[in-house]
Amino acid sequence: MIVSALLTSVGINTALCVLFLTLYSVLRKQPSNYEVYLPRLLVEGISKRRSHFNLERLIPSPGWVAKAWNLSEEELYSLAGLDGLVFMRIITFSVKIFTFAGVIGIFLLLPVNCWGNQLQDFDGSNFTNSSLDVFTISNVNSGSNWLWVHFCAVYVVTGFICFLLFYEYKHISSRRISYFYSSKPQPHQFTVLVNSIPASSGSISDSVDSFFKELYPSSYLSHVVVRRTNKIQSLLNDANNMYKRVAQLRPDPTKRKIRHGALSRLFGKRSNHIERYEKKLEEIEENLRLKQSEASLAGEARAAFVFFRTRFAAEATFHLQQSVNPTQWITELAPEPRDVYWPFFSESFIRRWISKLVVVLVSIVFTILFLVPVVFVQGLTNLSQLKALLPFLTSLLTIKFVSQIITGYLPSLILQLFLLLVPPAMEFLSTIQGYISHSDIERSATTKVLWFTIWNVFFATAFSGSILSMMSTILDPKVIPGTLAVVVPAQASFFITYVVTSGWTSVSSELFRIIPYILNLITRLFTTPDDEFELPYMPYHKDIPRVLFFGLLGITYFFQAPLILPFVLAYFCLAYVIYRNQFMNVYVPRYETAGKFWPTVHNSMIFSLVLMQIIAVGIFALKKLSMASTMTLPLPVLTLLFNEYCRKRFLPIFVGYSAESLIKKDREDLNDPTMAEFYNNLINAYKDPALVPVQYSSNTDSLSSPLISSA
């Protein structure tokens, strides 16, 4: 790739970003878009849908940038919880390391790279026509002592990143602990979830009661047995859909009729429809109530939420093996009530274990073989194939412009579409893995998507998509550094443009929220705008892997192609403003894991570092500076030891709380008069939403928004 091409790409993408940002600043002022761009403010009642028109609404303004920029950490914490804060700290952390690495890269490594003449095509007179490779380590002469600059840079940047990682881990640990200290008594702190309750002659409820009363007579409070509600769940969904349809058709006197059902009036026989639907709704409701009462009587799953008087008792129950048989009475800390994932409540040890194994296997196979069908589908899109498949397009395809677009963009579009499917697919895999909370599912999906991205974008690009050569390299550890040193630097210019195109675009489209915007447009055409809408949750399993992947690109390429650093830095600065804005205006926290995402981030950074160091070992050997290559070898070992130390020093904090803090919190509650009431309410906290009595048909307005309550 030549410099002018890069400049063009940067120009186009900067323009696109500015356009997106400008458009956004206009669109967010339109009341009809509040649901898309300011749902939080709408729900909180800060922004009202104003219908009167003024000119200001059409003028782009940068006020929101300043607002997002000035948001303090404490404000962010109150808006997005500790998880949101951790997410933003990934970005600030990345900004710090790429500023540091950027200074070293641009002012030290870049001149050294340009100085070399290995590639011998640097043409000072025609700067824009020279290849980007001139700026990479490939241009440094083999055996040149200038490579020691790179060597030092690798050591210094590794040291800096490890130093920051340590302090970041420490900071987030202390935030996590202070979050716990400052928290009010919360149901999940007093609760454990017991799985694999052995079958006995009596009911599950009785055996739970006798088991825990026997063991912990003083601290055991009560319990709630989980019930199998899969069928009720699907009935409830049917009822909700039906209710929506009815509510949409029924004339609503309390709402203005101006924009009401703009298109629905085109269909006739409205009252007929309503009657039919209402009848159906009644039937479903009847059925639902029947099933609910059935489930309340029978349908006990072999799992229960067990409540204790103190946090310490709950935590001790979690850590200790309860039964003589370690595969029975398995305890885990209960998730927050809002965080419980009720549908796939798998209760037996052996089923959970097998489903976990199967899901891990499927994820690995999916990750490794993902490119096979994609390449196949891409192969179908060449012109002759298309003409054969869709003969009526032949005339269109002969136009040069159209055929260029198709051959140029279609394969990449297909890849992008397939990639869009990955986060939901991984989330689905995680749900059937046996996790009991949304947060665990998303954390597991985050890891899966991250590995998927690293394998299918980083390694697949480096190895030009040849799965066989990727696999054979992995199976032969000796050749890994050498092979990586050949294939990775060769893709430097690709990844620089990748950061500019995919990175910048993805983050501005995050701001623009294209899909919700289009959905909102469509919905407004067909339905009445009602005040009930689901507040969006931050899709951590989609965004964390993406942000981490750009971090990986920056770290692995910083010494090979320092030119990537300004673009990565720009990406993170953009992300900084945009995600803060989104946390402020769009996303609500769905759960609070109190920073449990950080260990994943830490591991990803360590992986990036080790990958970078292994590539460095290979490159120094390739550049015939074997001394530097050998002297880089201790670096991955030291990094892994550092990681091991961090695991021992910080990871336990993210698993459970210490006896010291638990007992301190328990003591505080001793004199709290509201605790009696809290204990009484505990049992109601963990109630399967599928078992909450519903009432749609008789009075739809009294209905307390089933959509939001099930959210």
Footprint of a second copy (CB under 8 A): 177, 214-215, 315-317, 319-327, 349, 353, 357, 472, 475-478, 641, 645, 648-653, 656-661, 663
For residue 643, the minimal CB distance to a second copy (Å) is 13
- Sequential DSSP letters for 421-455: THHHHHHHHHHTTT--BHHHHHHHHHHHHHHHHII
What separation in angstroms does the CA of 256 have from each of 136, 261, 528?
64, 11, 10
Give the whole-angstrom CA distance, residue 358 versus residue 274.
46
Please say which residue, 263 or 320, places its beta carbon nearer to a second copy.
320
Please say which residue, 325 or 674, places its beta carbon nearer to a second copy.
325
Residue 433: phi, psi to the nearest 5? Answer: -80, -10
Give the whole-angstrom CA distance, residue 502 versus residue 505.
5
Retrieve residue 327's tokens. Answer: 């595969």
Please say which residue, 52 or 648, places its beta carbon nearer to a second copy.
648
For residue 164, the minimal CB distance to a second copy (Å) is 20
For residue 272, the minimal CB distance to a second copy (Å) is 60
For residue 623, the minimal CB distance to a second copy (Å) is 24
Reduce the DSSP state of residue 411 to 3 states and report it: helix
Residue 308 bridge partners (DSSP): 220
Please say which residue, 524 or 647, places its beta carbon nearer to a second copy.
647
Please say which residue, 214 or 701, places its beta carbon nearer to a second copy.
214
Please say which residue, 660 or 701, places its beta carbon nearer to a second copy.
660
- Tokens 């900067």 map to which residue? 14
Spacing of C-alpha 83 from chain mean position: 11
Reduce the DSSP state of residue 191 to 3 states and report it: strand
Please say which residue, 209 or 427, places its beta carbon nearer to a second copy.
209
Retrieve residue 273's tokens. Answer: 């429809």
Residue 307: phi, psi to the nearest 5? Answer: -105, 140
Please say which residue, 121 or 206, places its beta carbon nearer to a second copy.
206
For residue 330, the minimal CB distance to a second copy (Å) is 10
For residue 192, the minimal CB distance to a second copy (Å) is 12
Q: Say how many Å lie between the first and final Cα of the chain, rounded.
A: 49
What angle is formed at CA 183 by the lines to CA 209 and CA 303, rounded to 5 degrees?
25
Biggest CA–CA distance in the chain, Å, is 90
Please say which residue, 18 or 471, places its beta carbon nearer to a second copy.
471
For residue 143, the minimal CB distance to a second copy (Å) is 27
Helix H or strand E encompassing 6: helix 3-27
- The sheet with strand 300-308 has its strands ordered as 220-227, 300-308, 191-195, 330-333
Q: Confirm if 235 and 280 have CB atoms less than 8 A apart.
A: no
Please say which residue, 360 or 486, places its beta carbon nearer to a second copy.
360
For residue 614, the minimal CB distance to a second copy (Å) is 15
For residue 663, the minimal CB distance to a second copy (Å) is 5
Please say which residue, 654 or 696, places its beta carbon nearer to a second copy.
654
What separation in angstroms does the CA of 238 have from each of 282, 286, 287, 342, 534?
11, 12, 11, 17, 18
Please say which residue, 297 or 468, places its beta carbon nearer to a second copy.
468
Q: Confirm if 459 and 470 have CB atoms less than 8 A apart.
A: yes
Helix H or strand E encompassing 115: helix 110-115
The candidate with the shortest Cα–Cα distance to 584, out of 63, 27, 34, 76, is 76
Helix H or strand E encompassing 303: strand 300-308
What angle is formed at CA 661 by the lines to CA 655 and CA 666, rounded to 5 degrees?
115
Please say which residue, 358 or 525, places its beta carbon nearer to a second copy.
358
Q: Confirm if 689 and 710 have CB atoms less than 8 A apart.
A: yes
For residue 174, the minimal CB distance to a second copy (Å) is 9
For residue 635, the minimal CB distance to a second copy (Å) is 17
How many other C-beta atoms lie within 10 A of the C-beta of residue 84?
A: 24
Q: Confirm if 518 and 26 have CB atoms less than 8 A apart.
A: no
Helix H or strand E encompassing 487: helix 480-490
For residue 469, the minimal CB distance to a second copy (Å) is 14
Please say which residue, 93 or 349, places its beta carbon nearer to a second copy.
349
For residue 357, the minimal CB distance to a second copy (Å) is 7
Q: What is the DSSP letter of 108?
A: I
Long-range Cβ contact pairs of 664-670 (< 8 A, separation 24 or more): 664/181, 665/180, 665/181, 665/189, 665/311, 666/310, 666/311, 666/312, 669/185
For residue 625, the minimal CB distance to a second copy (Å) is 23
- Sequential DSSP letters for 671-689: T-TTHHHHHHHHHHHS--G
For residue 300, the minimal CB distance to a second copy (Å) is 22
Please say which residue, 192 or 422, places its beta carbon nearer to a second copy.
192
Q: Confirm if 590 and 531 have CB atoms less than 8 A apart.
A: no
